[in-house]
Structures are given as C-alpha cells and as structure tokens.
A and B are shown apart, each in its own frame.
Chain A
Amino acid sequence: MALIELRDVSKSYHRDQNEIVVLNGVTIAIGAGDFLALMGPSGSGKSTLLNLLAGIDRPTRGSIRVGDTDISGLSERALAAWRARHIGFIFQLYNLIPVLTAFENVELPLLLTPLSKKQRRDHVMTALGIVGLSDREKHYPRQLSGGQEQRVAIARAIVTDPTLLLADEPTGDLDAKSAAEILTLLQQLNRDYKKTIVMVTHDPHAAERASHVLHLEKGSLVDTAVHA
C-alpha cells in the first residue's frame, strides 16, 4: 500500500466573482521511501499540492491519506498535532527564527513533544550532526551562510523523525555549490534514513536527484518519470 494517496484532489480559490482552479482532480500514490520531485511552470499548482500534503491547506474536493490518516477530515487542532508528528517542512527561504540559535531553531518542533530537556538536546545534536553542523549550534542564522541556514532548516525538519519530508524549492535561493550539497543531503536522508521526500523544484538538475518526477501543468498531472 502507498504511504500517501491523493484521490481526485482539486483546489480552487475565489477571487472577486471568479473561481480560480489551481489543482484539478489530481490522483497520486507515493510509496514509503520514495524521493519525488514535483515540477512544473509557475502557477501549475505544485506548491499548492505540497501545502495540501503538509496539511497547511485543505482541498476543495477529494481526499488525502497519509499512512492510515485521512488528513482532509481532521480538525485544525488535530491537523496541527498531525503535522508536528508526521511532517518535516523545508522552505525555499529557510525561514529560521532569527532571534534563536541554530540549536534553538532545531529544538523548536521538539518543544511540542513530551521529551525532557536532555532528550531534546540529544535529538537536536543528532540532527545537527546529520547535516554536518554540530559545531554551529550556538550560531544565529545571520552568522551562517545560505547553505548552512538551509542545513539547519533541514535539521529542524528531521529532528522529530517525521513520516514525510516536504521541500518547497529547497535550492531556489542557493548558489550552485550549496544547492548541490543540499540535494546530496536530501538524497542521503532518502537513501540512508529511508525518508520519504516530496520536493517542489523548477530546476531539472535538482529533479534528477529524485527517484520519481511528476510534472504538473495548469493544475493537472501531465507526465511521470522514474529515475534509475
């Protein structure tokens, strides 16, 4: 059985009197341990699809199942708890809290868990170790390079050991070298830690790192590719 199943998912917005359809009857199945790249031009609905998977937006129609949970039917409170447990989100602009150190940023999702201070510290140091930033725990985001900031953001995404890692253009704001390092890190998380990853990207080179690629256009699935 697939880890994630989207069935006939549509999403539309109302602007003035007009209905704008962003996703139109999308049906996808993503297996556990997949590394899926979502590609498509601007406005194709790929970020909306990612937001729906993350449970930060709700479909207008259709259902989304992750594991045993149909998240489209969850209340706001239950959805927040579900996100905390199952989702690790990586943003294009890193979105670290500027007044917190790298350690504190990574610790943030753990504050929602019943872990003790020592357990939280162990988890954070493990996550920072995986992204290669153990020695930067006391640095503030402004003291880090873009690539390092994104690594901290990845550490924050994986620190709770979530079911699903979602990345929205994770290399979009990075130079080529840093982007390559981040993609290597994501591949490593997928390969070594069996993390299921869904990544939105414009970049075909980034998409090549994924095991599967889905193409969206005008809210519909147009093409599927599987990399060796």
Chain B
Amino acid sequence: MKYLTLVLKSALRSKRRTALTIISVALAVFLFASLRAVLDGFNAGAEASSSTRIVTIRSTSLIFSMPTSHAETIRAVPGVRDLTWANWFGGIYKDQQHSFANFAIEPESYLRVYPEILLTPDERQAFLADRTGCIVGDGLARTNGFRVGDKVTLKVGIPTYGTQDYDFTIRGIYRAGSGAVDNQSMMFHWKYADERSVVKGQLGWIVAQIASPEQEPQIAGTIDEKFANSPYETKTDTEKQFASSFVSMFGNLNLLLGSIAIAVVIATLFVAGNTMAMSVRERTTEIAVMRTLGFPGGTIFGLIAVEALLMSIVGGAVGVVLARVVVNPHVIPSGGFIPEVSVNDLNVAIGLALSAFIGIVAGLIPATLASRLKIVDALRRVA
C-alpha cells in the first residue's frame, strides 16, 4: 500500500498516453466481451436444447417445406410420443429494420412439446382460442412496447403466404424457460398462415418428442427411411444438431468471431507493451536513482508490473462496463434468430482476466529491463 502513490503518480505522469492505453485496452475488452456474448447467444440454443426432441427438415435445406402427411407418418413411428411443427413465416413488422422472427406453429402441440414456453393459464387459453392470436417473447415485447391485447400487423415476407397483410392480436407474452427457446420471437397459429398460402398444407420442420435420447439414432433413421426416394426426402437430427445447423447458416461464427477477438487482443498487447516500454525508457534516470537509494531490482520490477497491470485492469473494467451498457437487448435486438445477447458475469470475468493478462504480458519486458538496469550506465547516459 505504501507504494500506491508512487505507482499512481507514475501511471498518471503522461495523462494522455495513459488515457489512450486505457482506451485501447477498454476497446479490446469491449470487443472481446461483446463477441463472446454474441457467440454465447448463438450457441445457447444448442446448449440448452432437449435431448428428447428430434427435428425433421427437408434433406435439401431448411428453407424447403414438406407436406402435412409427413407429420402423420412420423407420428406413427415407434418411439415417437408426441409431435408438432412450425414454419418460418418471415413476416415484416413496419420495415426490415424493425422486424423480428415470427413463426407459424401448431399451437396446442407446440406448447406441449415446448414446455419451456411459459405462459399463464389465461394467456394460454386465450391464445389457443383465437385463430388470429399470437404470443410474443418478453424480450420482444420489451423492445417494441407490446402488451397483451395489442394489434400487430405483419407484411408478407415470403410470397408463398400470399400478398395480403396479416393482422394479429397479442394474446400472451411468454417467458423463455430455457435457452432452447428465445424470447425475441412471435408465434401464431399455423392454420391462419396455411389458409392464405398459395400451396396449402406445407410444414417447415417437424419436432418429435421421443421417450429417451438413446432411441434418437434409431428413430431418426426410421423417419428418414420412410421418406427416402420420395420427392420430399428428410433429414432428422437431434434438436441440438438442428440448432447448430441453424447457426451454421451464418458461417463458422466461432472461428470468425474468435479470430477477430484474438487479433484485437494481440494488437492491444503490442500497444500496451509499447506504452510501458516508452514509459520506462523515459524514466531510466529515475529508476537508476531509485536503485541508488536502495530499491532492490525486485521492487522496481513490481512497481512497473503493477503499474502496467493497473492501467490494463482499469481499461478492462471500462471495457466490460461499456459492453454491458451497449450490448443490451434493448439496444441491439438480435432479431429473434438467437436468444437475447447479453454480456453475462462469466464474460465480465473473462474480460477482466484478459485485461489482467494484457497488463502482465505488456509489463513483463519493461519491468524486467528496469529491474536489471545497470545503475552507473543509466546515470551516465543521461548526465
């Protein structure tokens, strides 16, 4: 503690340089925490998915649909306990910028198969009873100020669903009971969309509830076999694989975002290291004087290292606070493609640890050089 004044005053000797270093670390940590939050969001669905739900889609791509008769065939497969389906509706609310994910679902079975969609009994009943009713996630409701009873109009985004706008009444605001369900979506009756569709009786994906995860390979194989060599061949996977494939539509995000984060951190490491090296070089005489006064090399090392660590951790703290304020579902809605993006406590801890790592590495070489300074040479160099 008795060295604190010395460390603080040394760190603040060039306020502009210190501020720039702190800002660079803050930006690095901000980016790192934000990118991690986005990755977490993308991966949350897969992580939290149920192991007793399997999803059937067209083997060609998720964007192609299949007939309702597939549902009946799958329901008859041994081991399938329950079943539901959904379609990606792609409706546009106001404009593309304000849009959110919206799905046509078979309401009764969907709420049964996904007990994580939490509604009050009244809301559930009201939704099931109203063919033009819809439910919205609490995150989406917060973002758009939706309340139960509000009217919502969606423009048609995919021509298959006709040309006329769809009017809905919000009958419930659901909470997500797990990461498998995002709270940024809107869901409504599949029949409402189907009756206006150009091609009737089409399903986007079918979700089957099975008794145990061990049965998955066998049941999935049986399902896909049933539709082999038909015009609508299928591909059945676990919900986790389905969620992962949904994410992979955006490319290899883990690699892309991870690479960006690492590049930023390395660049910042060089900036912080250079700053500390410059700072120590400027203080060569002072360090020599302190050594003359009797300061051991270890103490000099500690003072420089703590100074670098302090600057970096302050930067890290600013970065994580910034990330928490900016990466906020109110400000950056994820559009319903992924659960709410937020910088959680783990990301904060990792961000701070990262800033500490930057500080330690950046201070290591300057601190070592300062501690090994040859006093006479250093005094002679300046005098």
Taking beta carbons and an 8 Å cutoff, which residues of A are in contact with B?
A: 51, 54, 56-57, 76-77, 80-85, 87, 89, 91-93, 95, 97-100, 104, 108-109, 111-112, 117, 156
B58-66, B230-238, B282-290 - interface stretch: B282-290
The 8 Å CB contact of B5, one of A56, A89, A104, A109, is A104
Q: Is the CB of A112 within 8 A of B295?
A: yes
Taking CB atoms, residues of chain B closer than 8 Å to A89 are 292-293
With A56-B292, A95-B285: A80-B376 Cβ-Cβ less than 8 Å:
no
Does chain A have a CB within 8 A of B13?
yes
**What 7 pairs between A and B have smallest CB-CB spacing?**
A84-B294, A83-B294, A56-B375, A99-B9, A80-B296, A95-B289, A109-B293
Does chain A have a CB within 8 A of B152?
no
A-B contact pairs, 25 of them (CB 8 A): A51-B376, A56-B291, A56-B375, A82-B294, A83-B292, A83-B294, A84-B293, A84-B294, A84-B295, A87-B292, A91-B379, A91-B383, A95-B286, A97-B289, A99-B9, A99-B10, A100-B5, A104-B6, A104-B9, A108-B290, A109-B293, A112-B293, A112-B295, A117-B2, A156-B293
The 8 Å CB contact of B383, one of A92, A104, A112, is A92
CB distance from B195 to the nearest CB of A (A): 77
CB distance from A226 to the nearest CB of B (A): 30
Give Cα A111 to B376, complex, Å: 23
Q: Is the CB of A97 within 8 A of B286?
A: yes
Known pairs A95-B286, A108-B6. 11 more at Cβ < 8 A? A56-B375, A81-B294, A84-B295, A91-B379, A92-B383, A97-B289, A99-B12, A100-B5, A111-B2, A112-B293, A156-B293
Does chain A have a CB within 8 A of B3?
yes
Q: Is the CB of A54 within 8 A of B5?
A: no
Q: Is the CB of A80 within 8 A of B291?
A: yes
Q: Is the CB of B294 within 8 A of A109?
A: yes
Give Cα A100 to B299, complex, Å: 18
Can you list, as one digit per residue, whether each of B101-138 has a CB less than 8 Å from chain A (1) or not (0)? 00000000000000000000000000000000000000
CB distance from A118 to the nearest CB of B (A): 12
Can you list, as one digit per residue, whether each of B357-383 has a CB less than 8 Å from chain A (1) or not (0)? 000000000000000000110010001
Q: Is the CB of A100 within 8 A of B296?
A: no
Does chain A have a CB within 8 A of B302?
no
Give Cα A83 to B295, complex, Å: 9
Does chain A have a CB within 8 A of B297?
yes
The interface size of chain B toward A, counting residues with CB under 8 Å, comes to 25
Taking CB atoms, residues of chain B closer than 8 Å to A85 are 294
The 8 Å CB contact of A99, one of B13, B291, B292, B383, is B13
The interface residues of chain B, by DSSP majority, are classed as helix
Q: Is the CB of B294 within 8 A of A112?
A: yes
Taking CB atoms, residues of chain B closer than 8 Å to A77 are 296-298
Give Cα A56 to B294, complex, Å: 9
With A56-B376, A108-B290: A81-B296 Cβ-Cβ less than 8 Å:
yes
Taking CB atoms, residues of chain A closer than 8 Å to B6 are 100, 104, 108, 111
Taking CB atoms, residues of chain A closer than 8 Å to B5 are 100, 104
Closest to B2 in A: A111
CB distance from B341 to the nearest CB of A (A): 43
Chain B, range 256-294, C-beta contacts under 8 Å to A = 285-286, 289-294
Q: Is the CB of A91 within 8 A of B289?
A: yes
CB distance from B74 to the nearest CB of A (A): 75
Taking CB atoms, residues of chain B closer than 8 Å to A156 are 293
Taking CB atoms, residues of chain B closer than 8 Å to A51 are 376
Taking CB atoms, residues of chain A closer than 8 Å to B12 are 99
Give Cα A81 to B296, complex, Å: 7
Q: Is the CB of A80 within 8 A of B294?
A: yes
The 8 Å CB contact of B295, one of A80, A92, A99, is A80
Can you list, as one digit per residue, whether each of B1-44 has a CB less than 8 Å from chain A (1) or not (0)? 01101100110110000000000000000000000000000000
Give Cα A112 to B290, complex, Å: 11
Q: Is the CB of A57 within 8 A of B376?
A: yes
Give Cα A54 to B379, complex, Å: 13
Q: Is the CB of A108 within 8 A of B383?
A: no
Give Cα A58 to B296, complex, Å: 16
With A83-B293, A84-B293: A93-B383 Cβ-Cβ less than 8 Å:
yes
CB distance from B298 to the nearest CB of A (A): 8
